[in-house]
Amino acid sequence: MVQIRYSRWDITHRDSLDSDDVFDQLNENMNDTGDLQQAMRRLMQKGIKQGEKQTKGIDDLLSQVAKEMRKLYDQYRLQSAMDEVQEQLEQVLEQEQQTLEDLDQSGQDVKANQQFLNDLPSKTSEAVEKLTSYSFQNPDAEKQFEQLLAQLDQIRKLENWLRREGSLFRGQTPMEFQQSQELMERMEDLRRLEGQLSSMQLKDVDMELLEKLLGGEPKQDFEGVMRMQSLLEEGGYVLEQGDRFELTPRGIRRVGHLALRDIYQQLRRDGMGRHATRNRGSQELMTENSRPYVQGDPLHINMVHTLKNALLHGGGVPVKIHPGDFAVYESEHSTRAATVLLLDMSWSMSWEGRFAAAKKVALAMETLVRSMHPRDYFGIVGFFTRAVELKAKDLPQATWNMGDPFTNLQDGLHLASQLLERKPSVNQQMIVITDGQPTAYCRQGRLYCEWPLSFGGISQRAAEETLKEAERITRKGITINTFMLDDSPVLRGFVDDLTRINKGRAFYTRPDRLGEYLLVDYLTHQRKKV
């Protein structure tokens, strides 16, 4: 069982926390939610992990508010306050009724007054309000009534409050009318604070009210939450725009770096092999590696190793260099590539963590190309019912679309082909991450959508049009590599047809191993030892 230990947020915590720590936690939340707004909300709700400790977040403060309200509900009996007001009104009426009886016995006509009093509403506030039009015969009763009248607004408020929440107060401690006003004010303040905290709009939270109701320590906890948001903004990772947050270019870059780091860590653990590349580009020296010269090698002589070999073999001065002493730097040919990654964003990609894994790899790929191969082109196409180009800034918050369930791989391939036409290169490739179920296609400018005849099946016409698009792409010399995340025999058959037409490669993998397969393949298409 995982145990989380909470601690008070103090100056020590603030000093030890930096923007990178907070953003890394935010990134973990984005991996889970796929949405920056939800990730920020979770960060502020839950706080941040620091080793074995967990700082408090908004949820902890809301729990304290709820605890305080439960304490009041369990302590007081609110109905007693209304009983006090009702008794005061009854005293006024008894005095006035007695005076009317005395006047009636003296022969005066008081029937109308008595009838007025008998017809008063049962609700205390309504009775008091109606009595404002009554002419009292008893001066003492009139004076007491004026005291009640001055409290009419408070009486109404108490009645309404009792109607809404009276049953929640189950305590044994009776309350006087004035005490009930203070309790109502406190409960209203707690409700107001609860609303402010629940809104997650930190700037709208009344800090003085928070300290007044909960104390100094919860105030410090809230300051810690505000500090987390400030660190993200000060670090240049997140920008608040109105009631929304946006990732800055720096934030987007760090998301990619973190994704790449996680995938590379997995690669180092698993030690997977590499695949060969067909095309060569410019030659680069690998100065850390040398080997003996072989006739026909470029004369990239490693003079240090050459002289060392001559001294070892000759042992004297002057140094005599023989043909076998020559050492050359190893070299490799690096290729320039234009790559478009096609990311399936259909509803089925939400199953088994497929989309989260695919997006993480897309982020890592974008970071890899930008940092290690800046001369390469790397584009991203998202496809569902239609295909759209995704920019790097859009990728961290991209998600599958439940309201748009169809899969138009054909349109995705077509758009990717258009992007590659603008980036001529000897090495042009498409990398498709999908669960392989085309259910939509375009023909002569019109969109067609159709469900497969059976669950796990495939739309025949959508498959045919997609394969026709693959044929057109193949004639352009573009390679299509497909990473399949579903093991259905029908879907495998479609991907096999696609691979046969294009002469590309198909990889059948799991979401948790997608990064290994994809990144290793891309990197080995960049370099080949010669």
Q: Token pair for residue 357? A: 């894994």
Crossing angle of helices 79-105 and 139-150, rounded to 10°? 150
Q: Could you give all domains of the chain from N- to C-terminal order, each with its CATH number?
A: 5-73+184-247 (no CATH), 79-168 (no CATH), 282-334 (no CATH), 337-529 (3.40.50.410)
Tell me: the pLDDT tens digits for 174-215?
888 888 888 888 988 999 999 989 888 888 888 888 888 998
Distances (CA, A) of 469 to 218, 378, 408, 414, 441: 61, 21, 12, 7, 10
Separation between Cα atoms, residue 83 and residue 90, nearest integer Å: 10
pLDDT at 40: 86
Position 10, amino acid: D
Distances (CA, A) of 509 to 27, 47, 357, 410: 25, 35, 11, 22
Average pLDDT per consecutive 10 residues, the chain (530 residues; last block may be shorter): 46 61 84 77 84 81 91 86 86 89 78 89 90 90 90 87 84 85 89 89 87 88 87 87 81 78 61 40 49 63 81 75 77 68 80 74 80 82 88 74 77 92 83 82 84 67 90 91 78 86 82 69 51
DSSP letters of 277-321? -S---EEEEEEEEEEE--TTS---B-HHHHHHHHHHHH-SSS---
Separation between Cα atoms, residue 452 and residue 486, nearest integer Å: 16
Separation between Cα atoms, residue 384 and residue 400, nearest integer Å: 8
> Hey, what long-range contacts does 22-28 have (CB within 8 A, 24 or more apart)?
22/48, 22/228, 22/231, 22/232, 22/235, 23/232, 23/235, 23/237, 23/238, 23/251, 23/254, 24/258, 25/49, 26/232, 26/237, 26/238, 27/254, 27/255, 27/258
**Segment holding 58, helix H or strand E:** helix 58-75
Separation between Cα atoms, residue 234 and residue 466, nearest integer Å: 47
pLDDT at 47: 85
Distances (CA, A) of 300 to 306, 308, 323, 436: 11, 16, 14, 48
Separation between Cα atoms, residue 104 and residue 108, nearest integer Å: 5
Compute φ and ψ for 263, nearest 5 degrees: -70, -40
Q: Which region holds residue 296: left if phi is over 0, alpha if psi is between -120 and 50, else beta?
A: left
Residues sharing a CB contact under 8 Å with residue 396, sequence separation 6 or more, in sequence order: 30, 36, 247, 251, 252, 255, 363
Please state the separation of Cα 487 from the chain's center in Å.
30
- Within 10 angstroms of residue 316's Cβ, the number of other Cβ atoms is 8
Pairing mode, strands 427-434 and 479-484: parallel
pLDDT at 417: 93
> Is residue 39 within 8 Å of residue 192, measured between CB atoms?
no
Tell me: the pLDDT tens digits for 72-129?
989 988 778 788 888 888 998 999 889 888 887 776 778 888 899 899 998 988 998 9
Whose tokens are 């005490």? That residue is 179
> Is residue 425 within 8 Å of residue 375, measured between CB atoms?
no
- Within 10 angstroms of residue 273's Cβ, the number of other Cβ atoms is 6
